[in-house]
């Protein structure tokens, strides 16, 4: 079954998933959103309250300096605002604006639609295994 030369498999995996990512990004682009931006907005919505940039970095599974720049762009888009934390003056928290909440809702709708389009390309009987495989990879994620 595995007739691929060793090593080539990696390029197929990465290439295939990049193609999927590109489709999802394309669905968000007309809204002025990206997966990175929508992901950060989703974390803030899920938290239900402003998050420190450090906490946001943790939940986005990325480095702090990345969030600094991402929040710069989200703030320029007026989707979040930086607020000082009176309890710890080193900390800066990101707070959703009303426009940020609205854009998050619109982005998730667009993402769900694109997601259905991608899933529809997977043969029906393989879909469950696909979802199970993602569970396997969640372990990889946790190992970072």
Site of interaction with its own copies (CB under 8 A):
1-2, 4, 6-7, 9-24, 35, 39, 42, 61, 108, 111-112, 114-115, 118-119, 121-123, 126-134, 136-141, 143-144
Residue 129 CB, nearest approach to DNA (Å): 27
Report phi then psi at 52, rounded to 5: -65, 155
- Per CB under 7 A, contacts with DNA among 13-72 are 34-37, 52-55, 57, 62-72
State phi, psi for 94 to the nearest 5 degrees: -100, 130
Q: Which does 130 bind (CB under 5 to 8 A by kind): its own copies, DNA, none?
A: its own copies
CB of 89 vs its own copies, minimal distance in Å: 33
How crowded is the C-beta side of 134, counted as CA atoms within 13 Å?
6
112-141: which residues touch DNA (CB under 7 A)? none
In the numeric block, which tokens belong to residue 101?
A: 């909440």
Say how many C-beta atoms besides its own lie within 10 A of residue 78's C-beta: 12
Q: Give Dmax (Cα) for the chain.
A: 60
């Amino acid at each position: 079954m595995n007739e691929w030369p060793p090593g080539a498999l990696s390029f197929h995996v990465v290439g295939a998933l990049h193609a999927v990512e590109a489709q999802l990004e394309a669905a968000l682009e007309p809204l002025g959103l990206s997966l990175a931006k929508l992901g950060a907005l989703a974390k803030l919505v899920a938290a239900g309250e402003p998050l420190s940039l450090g906490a946001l970095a943790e939940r986005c599974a990325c480095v702090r300096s990345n969030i600094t720049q991402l929040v710069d762009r989200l703030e320029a888009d007026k989707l979040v605002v930086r607020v000082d934390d009176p309890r710890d003056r080193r900390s800066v928290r990101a707070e959703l604006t009303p426009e940020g909440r609205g854009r998050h809702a619109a982005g998730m709708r667009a993402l769900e639609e694109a997601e259905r389009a991608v899933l529809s390309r997977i043969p029906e009987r393989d879909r469950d295994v696909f979802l199970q495989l993602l569970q396997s990879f969640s372990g990889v994620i946790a190992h970072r």
